[in-house]
Amino acid sequence: MARSSASRTPVPVRIRRRTFGDVVRAFFAFLALVVLVVGVPGALAYFVGWPLPSETPSLSMLNEDVTTDVFVKVFAVVVWLAWAQFAACVLVEAKAAVSGMGMPGRVPGSGASQALARQLVAALLLLTAGAASFAPGLSQLGQQLDQNKPPPVAAAQQTPGQQVDTARPAVDVETPRGEAGGGEVRKDTREQAERDTKFYRIQPPEGRHHDSLWEIAERHLGDGRRYGEIYQLNKDRVQPDGSKLSQASLIRPGWIMEMPADAHGGDLVEMPDERNEVSKSEAEQIRDYDKSSPTLDERGGGGGGGDDRQATSGRGDRLVPDTPAVDRGSDDRTDVQQVPVREDGGAAERGAGDRAAPEVHSDGGGIGLPEVLIAAPLLAAGVLGALSRRRRQALWQAAFHTGGAGRTGAEPEGRAALARDALLVGADPGGVGFLDRALRGLSAALTESARPLPTIYAAWLTDSDLYLQLAGVAGEPPAPWRTGQDQTFWRIDRADVESYPQPEEGAAAAPYPGLASLGTREEARLLLNLEAVPGIAAVKGAPADRLAVLSSIAAELATNGWSDRMSVTVVGFGERLTELAPTRVRHLEDVPALLEVMEAESAQRANALGNAGHDSVLTGRAGQTGRTHWAPHLVLVATEPTAAEAERLAHLAGGSSRLGIGYLVGTGQEELAGASWEFEITRDGRLRAPLLGLELAAQRLPQEQHDALVELFSQVGFEGPATSGTDGRGISVTRAAGDVGFTVDLSEQGRPAVYARLLGSYEIMGLAEPDGERSPLLREALALLLIHREGVHPQVLAAALWPRGVTDDVRDAFIERLVGWLGRDPSGSARLAPDADGRLALSTSVVSDWDVLRTLHLEATDPDRQTSPQVRERLLNDALALAAGPLLADRPQGRYGWLSNEIVEAQLPLLVADAGLALAALRREAGQAEGAVGAVQSALVVAPADERLWNELLRAVHATGDTARLEATASDLLGRAAALHGARGLPPRTEALLDELLPGWRAQAGAAGAAG
């Protein structure tokens, strides 16, 4: 969990001051506006007068001589029209700049006039407006998302448990300790804090109700979201029973909680004295507990000091504003029955959002994992999804073109393996699903009520809710959305999204595909809508640091799950990022190449919008056709543009937001032409935008981890040197020579000590059944280890078993219990032990039917193994006999979620189909047509959609010579095709085979359909 930056020593914010050049430019802009707006009409009125005829025009005027006076008056009319157009442009630009309500409207036919007006107004406003005033919606990005208004500056010293007297003079936080006056103020403040100290004792459960910090804050502070103040006041302090508060969601009856000074309510107790009616033992407990309270200096009461308690108070002016509060709802309960409990009485599993940060290392050294990938849950989820698609695509290619489905491909090694493990630990697919479903649901609701999509600048995502920050007021949001701190924030709770009716396929487009993660503050993640930037967004800082930010955003945009279609152009970096998503990412070498491409595309998009009658891509994105139109194009530039290139880029970006084009440029320049939003990345990984009130823990992808991800995509899959051989029919085939992984000794000497059946129902033989409470987790852990014979990192194991997070001590205790359950081999070695890289790996004495199936398939189909047809037939028959059903068919609902990132479920039906095809071919060659039919039918139980099996079944039935049976088989395949493919019917190759084997099948199928 990221710490609030409010706990750090305040860093002076460097704000760009107006220079003498700015004053000069503003003065001349003022003169130009006066001359053009006031001087031109005045001169026309004085020198020309009324230019139009003073009487009603008639045809006789056409016969009059054309004098010099006529020419002057015609020219005056043209000048009056041009002046009127320019004056309208000035009014439009001035209104938009002063009000800050998005981009200004376009004056018809204005062209250069409006561009000139915009430059003059902008130059003039340099003397009267800050940079953030041009995008007021964005200037609130750092504000707290609640209804509380900040008190006076004196509240900057306020800490939990201390009530600030606003009637007293404000104390300068810069005052050094020990100077005159400082000691007296601190003494008075300490005495005031002691007088205001209140305590609360956690109540025992009543029926189904259990006390929680959220409810305590709601009752006694008026806002449940202030539970963090109570938590920070009492964190790690020894309670009467000897334990400590370490998690906000885990509190126990009888504990004492020190409360903030403004707490109120009848069940609160002040510092025990003669006025309090409490028992003697309770008074002693409270006094003892109060002795562990932080001193005033530790609470930040002294000059300028502070800690995390100050950051979570939710009150007062700060250099770093508050983040959206995290609503944990029912998670913050004392109901220990809802959470696994350790044997020592401590709670095992953390609540949502309290996921324990594992011990990680940015360099991936030792057995640590790259921290930057673990800290990017949305990026990790997207990359894992893209990796899974890549592996499945390679698997199908291997199965259909080389017959290599039994070869899993080499497992990643080195830093690629560390990157893969970090992705598995950090990925948050639930958060991606929450964001995607909420946004698509909003689009569907607005479309249904004929309302346009509002422009949003950013989104704040937490474990419990989602805030959208609008560019301007857009009315009341559709239910279940509701208004946030003001009319420019729309909010939805995660629980409401779960009950949101899911839009039908293709009914709602992804409305804001340009959202990209910038970083986190406390528990909230900021996603900036890059396609809504009113100009260029600039990232400043050291070259390596800003490149890490650009790489992270590019990788997330390329793989995210809340976009339908997307174009990402990276300029001057990330050439190999195209491997993550070849259809989304394009690489260009330099800015001139980019300008050539984008000038043409901008013109095409503008024409398309005009022809469609839309004012922006948001309008075109709504409705039934939104999914396939107006996809965003986001441009990320790492190459420093020249002054001329920057001007052209600024001109393109000026109106790009309505076209769905966004520009993010990494620059070392003090001022970049056209930059509307500026961010600075620091050496310590902080992303700052001082004028916008933002400071975040930046999401980054340094070069080492960028290369590791690229290697990961290169290493997985089924490519590799090929080996040639013949199949069971004597036909030459080429097989992928990927790593076949773990194989089993099929001889009598290789009989395993522990055998598990993963295909079909899950059974374990050779081990004592663990007790009822521990059995599900132990069985799931064993299944994960059996599928990953190469080993599983302890942090990956913990993330798989406890997706919401778990403490390190509970993880280690569970692994110890797992090792004890699996036992030892006769040699004395443990059946589960860490390897040289620290990954947990099973010994060869622990085997599953999946291992045996892959080994049998390899023995029977590898051309390098010189086996007789009879031996091959026996091996293939044994392999088909093992395929009793889908993988872990009886797994409980809500568990085994890690299987969604595995390739085995896609590989199993292809491998079984390979075995069935090879066995059927052997039997048909031997004249055993019925045996061939049986082999294919056995394989169809596990792989019912494999087209190769359909075709082999038709050949085998045809070999029996029974025409009626062939017709029945064709009819059955037509029914299966209708169920699987709908109106598309049979695949083309199957139809062609039927034309050859059963020429009249189409007429019979048509007659059957008419009769039906």
d(CA 584, CA 588): 13
Q: Which of 939, 875, 931 is nearest to 908 (CA)?
A: 939
**What residue type is assigned to position 789 of the chain?**
R
Q: How far apart are CA 1006 and CA 1012, in angstroms?
A: 10
Burial class (CB in 10 A: 0-12, 13-18, 19+), 180: exposed
- Tell whether the model's pLDDT for residue 702 goes beyond 90: yes
The strand ranges marked E within 719-868 are: 722-726, 732-736, 754-757, 763-765, 832-834, 840-842, 846-848
- For residue 492, the SS3 value is strand
930, 962 in Cβ contact below 8 A? no
In whole angstroms, give the CA distance from residue 403 to residue 911: 9
pLDDT in the model for residue 547: 95
Phi, psi at 317, each rounded to 5°: -80, 140
What are the tens digits of pLDDT across the range 881-894?
Answer: 998 888 998 888 88
Q: Residue 876 to residues 857, 880, 884, 920: CA-CA distances in angstroms?
A: 7, 6, 14, 10
From CA 644, how far away is CA 219, in angstroms rounded?
61
Q: Helix, strand or coil for residue 722?
A: strand
pLDDT at residue 59 in the model: 66
| C-alpha triplet 726, 728, 729: angle, nearest 5° | 85
pLDDT at 928 over 70: yes
Query: What are the backbone angles phi and psi of residue 506, rounded to the nearest 5°?
Result: 80, 0
Beta bridge partners of 516: 528
Confidence check: pLDDT of 550 > 90: yes
Question: What are the residues whose beta carbons fall under 8 Å from the beta carbon of 630, sequence distance 6 or more?
Answer: 614, 617, 620, 621, 660
Whether residue 388 has pLDDT greater than 50: yes
- Amino acid (1-letter code) at residue 800: A
Q: Mean pLDDT over all residues of the chain?
A: 75
Q: Evaluate if residue 127 carries a pLDDT over 60.
A: no
Whole-number Å distance between alpha carbons of 120 and 114: 10
pLDDT of residue 508: 65
- pLDDT tier for residue 829 given thresholds of 50, 70 and 90: very high
What pLDDT score was predicted for residue 163? Answer: 34
Tens of pLDDT, residues 456-512: 999 999 988 999 999 888 889 998 999 988 888 999 999 898 776 665 555 567 889
Whether the upstream peptide bond of residue 863 has omega within 30° of 0, thus cis, is no
Q: Does residue 826 have a pLDDT over 60?
A: yes
Q: Any residues with CB less than 8 A from the CB of 109 and at least 6 apart, and which?
A: 85
- Distance CA(776)–CA(766), nearest Å, equals 17
Residue 1005 pLDDT class (50, 70, 90 cuts): low
Q: Got the DSSP string for 515-541? A: EEEEEEETTEEEEEEGGG-SSEEEEES
Above pLDDT 90, what percent of the chain?
Answer: 27
In this predicted model, what pLDDT tens digit does every residue of 3-53 receive, in sequence order?
333 333 333 333 344 566 767 777 888 888 888 888 888 888 888 787 777
User: Among candidates 300, 273, 299, 266, which has minimal Cα distance to 287?
Assistant: 273
For residues 466 and 527, give the distance between their C-alpha atoms in angstroms, rounded to a whole number.
11
What pLDDT was estimated at residue 61?
A: 65
Q: Quick one: pLDDT at residue 533?
A: 84
* pLDDT beyond 50 at 736: no
- 748 burial class (0-12, 13-18, 19+ CB within 10 angstroms)? exposed
* C-beta of residue 867 within 8 angstroms of C-beta of residue 354: no
pLDDT band at 270 (very low <50, low <70, confident <90, very high): low
pLDDT band at residue 299, thresholds of 50, 70 and 90?
Answer: very low
Are residues 518 and 687 in contact, defined by beta-carbon separation less than 8 angstroms? yes
Give which of 295, 313, 267 is closest to 164, Cα–Cα: 313
Can you give the pLDDT at residue 903? Answer: 85
DSSP lists the bridge partners of residue 238 as 244
Contact 374, 360 (CB under 8 A): yes
- Inter-residue contact 460 to 466 (CB < 8 Å): yes
CA distance 303 to 180: 13
Tens digit of pLDDT for each residue in 703-726? 999 999 999 988 775 544 434 333
Q: What is the mean pLDDT of residues 923-934?
A: 91
CB atoms within 10 A of CB 880: 23
pLDDT in the model for residue 548: 95
Query: Cβ atoms within 10 A of the Cβ of 58, count?
Result: 8
Q: Please tell me the predicted confidence (pLDDT) of residue 330.
A: 36
CB count in 10 Å sphere of residue 802: 20
One-letter amino acid of 759:
L
Nearest alpha-carbon partner for 300 in 232, 214, 216, 236: 232
Cβ contact 673:665 at 8 Å: no
Task: Please report which confidence band the pLDDT of residue 126 belongs to, taking 50, 70 and 90 as the band edges.
Answer: low
